[in-house]
Chain A
Amino acid sequence: MTDILCKTQDLRITFPHRLGDFTAVHGFDMEVRRGEIVGLIGESGAGKSTVGNAIMGLLSHPGEVSGGRIELEGENLIDLSDAAMARLRGRRIGMIFQDPMTSLNPLMTVGDQLAESIAILQDVPMAQARQMASDRLDGVGIPDAANRMGQYPHEFSGGMRQRVVIALAMAGDPDLLIADEPTTALDVSVQKQVLDLIRSICVERSLGVILVTHDMGVIAETADRVYVMRHGKLVETGPTDQVIHRPTQQYTQDLIAAIPSITHREDRFRNPVKKTGEIDQWLLQGHKGEGTGDYVTASALTKDFATKKTSFWGKSGRFRAVDIPGLSIKRGEVLGLVGESGSGKSTLGRMMTGLVPPSSGAVSYGDHGPLADVRTRAARKALRRDVQVVFQDPYSSLNSRMRVDHILAEPIRFHGLAERGDIPRLVGALLERVGLPADAGRKFPHQFSGGQRQRICIARALSVRPRFLLCDEPTSALDVSIQADMLALLMELRRSLGLTMLFVSHDLAVVRQVSDRVAVMKQGQIVECQPAEALFDTPNHDYTRMLLATAPRATGH
């Protein structure tokens, strides 16, 4: 058993707390061999990052290893002093973090950071370290490495920055590399390149890699073996292929079943059961007869942002974030808007709701006409009632100082949609409608999980009886099992209430599940807009094809 590089045995990690200790990891066993990538997958709170941090000896305060062993080539790391552990980090174990911006020092050039690490970790003179740094940057695939040594981290793109972080983690030629969500902050097309780089480094240097992630697609494409964690316990382990295609445990099966497919639209999202309860009657009140025409129409829409001045006296330039000839959404239709970060999809989405004023062009709404003509206070109020938003971040989108029932009652009262005495009952019914207990309103937002908060956000959007809902990455911050429930809820509401929706997301699989029609954005322009089936099965544009090809697929189908 000499080929085992690192192993944990009956590892227990505890966070002491005055109301009873919280055990984050209970008796976790894992082995990593040289030259293999081991995936550590789990949903938030599973303890996967905690295991990674424990191996590095970087548990956040007040966490402590309360039992078991962590061995690196037979040596128990738990017995080591802090000083000995510090010598180990970088030289024997390297780490890659999620956010490539915060793991680099913004005030030091990339070359200096890397050369400094090499000089310290390998004990070589600075001049030699600089030469090595340049070679290393070249080795991680940074073009023109010698010249880019003198640049600062902000001059690199996200993917290039993550390559620098990888070079930095490799500065001391470690035996073990721990990558904690290394591609979560990156676009899919870049994600694949970074994963391929990790893979090739692992093979070339016969390195052990622990890949911590929540994304089954990343695991499927990269890891040799996988450990599935839940609530700090090991659920299932085995070769990646076996775990993904023939999972033996119920939890793993559910986890894999919850991953939306990119190849076909699942029936639960296509044809949800229509609900017609008392609250649905209330939600549909005041809606005029349904036409079939367009509900939202944008024409010649652009958005410019000012760029930094080049000199003190210079004029600031303009950056065109969005430039589209036109886009419309039919009544009751769900339009998916896909694009990578910086493509302008969120800006376009917000312009379509009137929350961000366009630089030129117009948006008009079925019952209200062009936005520019909605001038009176009453007309504006009526428009605001019809157009609502659900945001990505369930933490910043609720006012943490307000009780949930107040959050939901305020819009109803402001728009005068119910008698004052009826409001508490309505708030309860709304909460139940989105799958929360009716008495949940007595709590504050921080007492709910991310998925529950997102349900509260949906309830708030519904509380004004909207016609049109912008969903801006509504599931991106959620675990995959909760994501599926959220999509199912949105699709059911859409059917029951006949909502028109604009669904903005970077995740092609999610968009496939919910959209009737899909628009693909790149650098502020729509490169392709087609019915969903056609776009996914026979894409016209090269960019769409590239996005589809690089999207990670968990199940291979």
Chain B
Amino acid sequence: MFERIRSDFWYELVNSPVTVVSAIIIAVMIIGCTFAPVFAPHTPFDPATISIMDNNMPPAWADGADPRFLLGTDLQGRDVLSAMLYGGRISLLVGIGAVALSVVIGMTVGLLAGYFGGMTDAVLMRIAEIQFAFPPILIALLFNGILKASLPADVFAQAAVPIMILAIGLAGWVQFARIVRASAMVQRGQDYVTACHAIGLPTPTIILRHITPNILGPVLVLAMLQIAVAIVTEATLSFLGLGTPLTQPSLGALIQIGSQYLFSGIWWVVIFPGIMLLVMVVAFNLVADWVRDYLNPRLR
């Protein structure tokens, strides 16, 4: 009678204006940051294009502003808006990349543990639980610290973004493993899986073709929530000076730079990246909440 039809998606979406606004914000941020070189009015980290003479310009609407710099400039005369777009690119890249890594590790572990059970399950989940006992930021710090100590300084600076993805991704897989394991255990007991055994399909086919598509829903929700968490983790690490180098600062690094001048009246250098980080994280959370409700028909 009330069969779910494809257009339910759009119907549920337009009935939630908050979600639509959040989704648009995410889309604008992703497009704006991905194509930062196109949209940014300046190239903030190219010493050839910045002039120390433009330093500490307030935002365009304040007294003594330069209309070339919409959100003002920092101490070295870099355009804040452009720095935010380039910084947002790094934040998003680290956030999405780290979660992608977490999903791959977490799903592999979770599927193996949930499908095979027994000893495999016991060993894999004990490892996961040991890691879960440490705060993710601590684990990211640990990975980061090990790599920083073992790699030459110039290599480390160059590979800062992949290192951040690796550190945060390795810190976040446990939640995925748990949720996938629980779902896989439920799916394994379903008759359609028994039917696959009856047909004689090999185990990898059953896991990848039949079980995996049925557990993607909760993984998708968790992934969206975890992107926000990963972005914040990256910002925290960068704020502590352990993340991206000053030559390619992320939003967290920008906030750290700006925070030093907050009380000397140069508020815009820290406030605007801060707002962008906040909006980005809240938007991801709101969209994830909606996806969770959409995938759970009982809540509708």
Interface residues of A (CB under 8 A from B): 15, 17-18, 22, 45, 350, 353, 355, 380-381, 383-385, 387-389, 391-393, 396-402, 410-411, 414-415, 446-447, 457, 460-461, 464
Contact = CB atoms under 8 A, between A and B. Distances in A.
A80 to B, nearest CB: 28
Given A384-B200, A398-B192, A415-B200, 17 more contacts: A15-B2, A17-B2, A385-B200, A388-B199, A389-B198, A392-B191, A396-B191, A397-B192, A397-B194, A399-B214, A400-B214, A410-B201, A410-B209, A414-B205, A446-B3, A460-B195, A460-B199
Contacts of B199: 384, 388, 410-411, 414-415, 460, 464
B296 interface: no
A457 B205 CA distance: 19
Contacts of B198: 353, 355, 384, 387-389, 461
A414 B199 CA distance: 9
Given A18-B11, A401-B214, A457 B195 contact: yes
Nearest to B197: A355
B210 interface: yes
Contacts of B4: 446
Nearest to B210: A399
Interface string B144-173: 000000000000000000000000000000
A347 to B, nearest CB: 13
Interface string B1-17: 11110000001000000
Interface in B62-116: none
B190 interface: yes
B213 interface: yes
A357 to B, nearest CB: 12
Given A355-B198, A384-B200, A399-B214, A447 B192 contact: no
Interface string B218-232: 000000000000000
A399 B188 CA distance: 12
14 contacts: A17-B2, A355-B198, A380-B200, A381-B200, A387-B198, A389-B198, A391-B194, A399-B210, A400-B214, A410-B201, A414-B200, A415-B199, A457-B195, A460-B195
A123 to B, nearest CB: 35
A154 to B, nearest CB: 20
Given A385-B200, A410-B199, A396 B2 contact: no
Contacts of B190: 396-397
Contacts of B192: 396-399
Contacts of A396: 190-192
The residue in B2, B195, B198 that gathers the most chain A C-beta atoms within 10 A of its C-beta is B198
Nearest to B195: A397
- 6 closest residue pairs by CB, A with B: A384-B200, A397-B191, A401-B213, A391-B191, A411-B199, A396-B190
The residue in A396, A398, A457 that gathers the most chain B C-beta atoms within 10 A of its C-beta is A396
Instruction: Provide the main secondary structure of the chain B interface.
Output: helix
Nearest to B193: A399
A383 B200 CA distance: 9
Contacts of A393: 191
Nearest to B7: A19
Contacts of A464: 199
Chain B interface bracket (under 10, 10 to 19, 20 to 34, 35 or more):
20 to 34
The residue in A15, A380, A410 that gathers the most chain B C-beta atoms within 10 A of its C-beta is A410
Nearest to A400: B214
Contacts of B205: 414
Nearest to B194: A355
B222 to A, nearest CB: 18
Contacts of B194: 350, 355, 389, 391, 397
A399 B214 CA distance: 8
A112 B194 CA distance: 41
Contacts of B195: 389, 391, 397, 457, 460-461
B2 A447 contact: no
Interface string B43-77: 00000000000000000000000000000000000
A396 B191 CA distance: 6
The residue in B1, B11, B191 that gathers the most chain A C-beta atoms within 10 A of its C-beta is B191
A15 B1 CA distance: 11
Contacts of B214: 399-401
Contacts of B209: 410
Nearest to A398: B192
A391 to B, nearest CB: 4
A353 B191 CA distance: 14
Nearest to B4: A446
Contacts of A398: 192
Given A389-B195, A391-B195, A22 B200 contact: no
A397 B213 CA distance: 15
Nearest to B211: A399
B207 to A, nearest CB: 13
B214 to A, nearest CB: 6
Contacts of A387: 198
A252 to B, nearest CB: 23
A461 B196 CA distance: 10
Nearest to A445: B192
A214 B4 CA distance: 26
B201 A414 contact: yes
Nearest to B11: A18
Contact of B1 (A45, A350, A381): A45
Nearest to B214: A401
A400 B191 CA distance: 12
A166 B183 CA distance: 36
A510 to B, nearest CB: 19
A499 to B, nearest CB: 15
A411 B11 CA distance: 37
Contacts of A399: 192, 210, 213-214
Interface string B236-259: 000000000000000000000000
A50 to B, nearest CB: 12
Contacts of A45: 1
A389 B214 CA distance: 22
Contacts of B213: 399, 401-402
A402 B210 CA distance: 8
Contacts of A355: 194, 197-198
B210 to A, nearest CB: 5
A389 B194 CA distance: 9
Contacts of A397: 190-192, 194-195
A411 to B, nearest CB: 4
Contacts of A15: 2
A401 B214 CA distance: 7
Nearest to A387: B198
B94 to A, nearest CB: 31
Contacts of A385: 200
B210 A22 contact: no
Contacts of A414: 199-201, 205
A11 to B, nearest CB: 19
Contacts of B1: 22, 45
A436 B200 CA distance: 25
Contacts of B11: 18
B275 to A, nearest CB: 37
A383 B1 CA distance: 41
A393 B3 CA distance: 19
A399 B192 CA distance: 6
